[in-house]
Amino acid sequence: MSIEHHTALIVGGGPAGLALAVVLGGWHPHYRGSRMFSERYPQLAEYLAPRQDTLLGLDFRELVRSGVAPADLFRLLHHPRQRFEQLAQVAMEFRQGEPLDYLLLSQEPVGGLWNNAPRNLLTLSPGQWMEFAFYPLAQYAEEQGLPLDVNELIAKTDLIEYYHQVPSRFGQEEFIRTGEKVTRIEPHERGFLLTSTELATQRTRQYTCKYLIYAAGQRCQLRHLGVEGEDLPFVANQYDHPLDHPHHRVMVVGGGRSADWAATELHDAGRQVCYVMRQSRDIHWQLIGDSRNGLPYYARIAEILESKSPRLEVLYRARVKRIGRDGRVWLSVGGAERVVQVDHLVKEIGGIADYSLFTGFPVALQLEEKYDNYRFQVHQVRTHAHNYESVDMPNLYAGGYLAAGIGLVVIAMHGTTYAIAGDILQKEDRL
Ligand SMILES: Cc1cc2nc3c(=O)[nH]c(=O)nc-3n(C[C@H](O)[C@H](O)[C@H](O)COP(=O)(O)OP(=O)(O)OC[C@H]3O[C@@H](n4cnc5c(N)ncnc54)[C@H](O)[C@@H]3O)c2cc1C
C-alpha cells in the first residue's frame, strides 16, 4: 500500500478542524483595527497597530507571558463586543497567503456533530458566535440572500448549511476528504503514521505527516448504557425528530441539553414521554433555571414541568437495568425497581473524546478532565498554553475543546485555530 505524505494532517472536520483547514489553506488574518476594538481594548490595539504582517506571526509565547491566551486575543479581535452590529467591528481581515500542504480527514461531512444534531435544534448561542472570523454569518447571509438575524439563536439546518459552504467558498474542497475514518495513529520517522478506512468502500489508506491536528471532537464515541436489549430496533442512539418515533410511548434516557430537547419536542408532538435520568431533581432544575431565560426550549420544558403535564413524567436518580424485546424497560428509581412499557427508547447520554487511536508512542497523552455546571464535560489533552501543542507529543496539536484550558466561551470550539496554524507556519519558516 502506498503511503501519502502531507506536511500537516487534520483529523476531524467539525468547526475546529474546518477553521484550521481554511487558515492552513492560506487565508491568513491581518490586523485592521476597529473603533470598537480600540475603545474597549486600547492596549491590545496599540500593541497590534504597527503590525503589517499576518497575525499568525505573533510571538504567542510572549503574549501568554503577558497574560493573554491566544484564543482570547482572536476572540476579542473577532467579537470586540458580544452583539454584532456591523462587519467593520471585526478588527482583523483575511488575505490570501501561501497555502501549506495539508489534508483534512473526517468521517462525516464538514460541520462535525452538527450534521447529526436534531433537525429542529437551535444553538445555545447566537448565530454569530458559531461563525468563523473569516466568514461572518452576516456576510454569508448577504451573499446567499438569507434572512438570518445573526444575533438570534440559529437553527441547526441553517448552521450546517453555513459550514457546508465553507470548503468551496474558500477553495479548499480538494484538501478535505470526508467519509474517511482514522482508525490508528502511530509514530513514524516522518512524524505520524495514520491508518484510515474509506467508509463507502472499506478501503484502507495510510498517510504520514509532520504535524498532526487532532480535532475529533468531544463526543466522537457515543456512550452506551451497557445493558441487555440496548441494540433492539426500537432503541435509538441519538435523537433527530419526532417522526422517527411515531408510536405513543417514548422513553428518553439522558439528562443533558440534548435529552432535554428530545423530551420537550416529543412531548409537544403529542407523545407520552417518560424521561429517565441519573441525576437528582435539584441538579436538573439548576440547568433549567440557568437556561430558561435565554433559551426558548428551556422556558418550554420549565413550563411543561411546572404545569405538571400528564404526558411528561421525569424519573430522577433512575437507571435503566434491562430492555425487553416486548418494550418493557426495567429501571432502578431511587433504589426501587420499576417497569415501564415503551414503544421507543431514545438514548441521549452523550459521548466521549476518543484517544484510543494513539498507539505505539513512547509516552501516553496526559489528559485533564474538564467539567462545568452547564454540562460541558470532556477529557482534554495537556497542551502548551501558547500553541495548543501536546506537552507529551511534539507536533501534535489538540483542536477546539480537546485542548486543555479551552472552556465554554464564544468561539471556543475553533479558538485554537490561529495559534496552531501560526505555530506550524513559524516552525516551517513560512511567515
Ligand atoms: C447538541 C449540542 C449542541 C451544542 N451547542 C453548542 C452551541 O450552541 N455553541 C457552542 O459553542 N457549542 C455548542 N456545542 C458544543 C460543540 O461541541 C461544538 O459546537 C462543536 O461542534 C465542536 O466542534 P469540534 O470540531 O471540536 O467537534 P465536532 O463537531 O464533534 O467535529 C469533529 C468531527 O470529527 C469526526 N471524527 C471523530 N473521530 C474521527 C476519526 N477517528 N476519523 C475521522 N473523523 C473523525 C467526527 O465524526 C466529527 O465530524 C454543542 C454540542 C452539542 C452536542
Which one of 78, 103, 113 would you pick to mutate in the ligand 1 pocket, going by the greatest count of ligand atoms within 8 A of its CB? 113
- One-letter identity of residue 199: L
Q: What is the per-residue pLDDT for 408?
A: 63
Total domains in the fold of the chain: 2
Residue closest via CA to ligand 1's atom 39 equals 216
Ligand 1 center–CA 325 separation, angstroms: 33
Domain boundary among 349, 380, 412: 349
29 in Cβ contact with 56 (< 8 Å): yes
* DSSP character at residue 365: P
Q: What is the per-residue pLDDT for 190?
A: 98
pLDDT band at 265 (very low <50, low <70, confident <90, very high): very high
Residue 344 and residue 303 in one domain? yes
Residue 230 and residue 330 in one domain? yes
Residue closest via CA to ligand 1's atom 25 equals 14
Ligand 1 center–CA 413 separation, angstroms: 8
Residue 26 and residue 169 in one domain? yes
All 3 cell numbers of residue 137? 454569518
Whether residue 334 is predicted with pLDDT greater than 60 in this model: the reply is yes
Ligand 1 center–CA 291 separation, angstroms: 21
Domain boundary among 349, 371, 389: 349
Q: What is the per-residue pLDDT for 234?
A: 98
Q: What is the per-residue pLDDT for 186?
A: 98
Residue 262 and residue 194 in one domain? no
Q: What is the mean pLDDT of residues 87-98?
A: 97
CA separation for the pair 420, 70 (Å, rounded): 10
Q: What is the per-residue pLDDT for 378?
A: 85
Q: What is the per-residue pLDDT for 89?
A: 97
Ligand 1 center–CA 109 separation, angstroms: 12
Residue 17 and residue 77 in one domain? yes
| 112 phi-psi bin (left φ>0, alpha ψ -120 to 50, beta other) | left
Average pLDDT over all residues of the chain: 95
Residue 382 and residue 257 in one domain? no
Q: What is the mean pLDDT of residues 168-181?
A: 98
Residue closest via CA to ligand 1's atom 27 equals 217
Residue 290 and residue 145 in one domain? no
For ligand 1, residues with CB inside 6 Å are: 11-17, 105-108, 112-114, 117, 123-125, 130, 181-182, 215-220, 258, 357, 400-401, 413
Point out the ligand 1 atom lying closest to the alpha carbon of residue 110: 49
Q: What is the per-residue pLDDT for 347?
A: 97
Which one of 130, 176, 413 would you pick to mutate in the ligand 1 pocket, going by the greatest count of ligand atoms within 8 A of its CB? 413
Burial 261-277 (b: 16+ CB within 10 A, else e): bbbbbbbbeebbbbbbb
Whether residue 43 is predicted with pLDDT greater than 70 in this model: the reply is yes
Domain region containing 358: 3-220+352-427
CA separation for the pair 232, 345 (Å, rounded): 9
Ligand 1 center–CA 407 separation, angstroms: 14
Helix, strand, coil percent values for the chain (each to nearest 5): 30, 30, 40
Whether residue 231 is predicted with pLDDT greater than 70 in this model: the reply is yes
* Rg, the chain, Cα only: 23
Point out the ligand 1 atom lying closest to the alpha carbon of residue 111: 29
pLDDT band at 207 (very low <50, low <70, confident <90, very high): very high
CA separation for the pair 212, 14 (Å, rounded): 16
Select from 19, 51, 56, 15 the least CA-distant residue to 33: 51
Residue 206 and residue 260 in one domain? no
Q: What is the per-residue pLDDT for 385?
A: 94
Q: What is the per-residue pLDDT for 411?
A: 64
Residue 197 and residue 290 in one domain? no
Residue 306 and residue 184 in one domain? no
Helix (H, G, I), strand (E, B) or coil at 1: coil
Beta-carbon count within 10 A of 104 CB: 28
Per-residue pLDDT reduced to its tens digit, 372-399: 766 677 899 999 999 999 999 999 999 9
Ligand 1 center–CA 215 separation, angstroms: 9
Residue 153 and residue 209 in one domain? yes
- pTM (2 decimals)? 0.95
Residue 150 and residue 67 in one domain? yes
Domain boundary among 295, 324, 349: 349
Q: What is the per-residue pLDDT for 383?
A: 97
Residue closest via CA to ligand 1's atom 37 equals 216
CA separation for the pair 104, 112 (Å, rounded): 12
CATH of residue 329: 3.50.50.60
pLDDT band at 294 (very low <50, low <70, confident <90, very high): confident
Ligand 1 center–CA 113 separation, angstroms: 4
215 in Cβ contact with 22 (< 8 Å): no
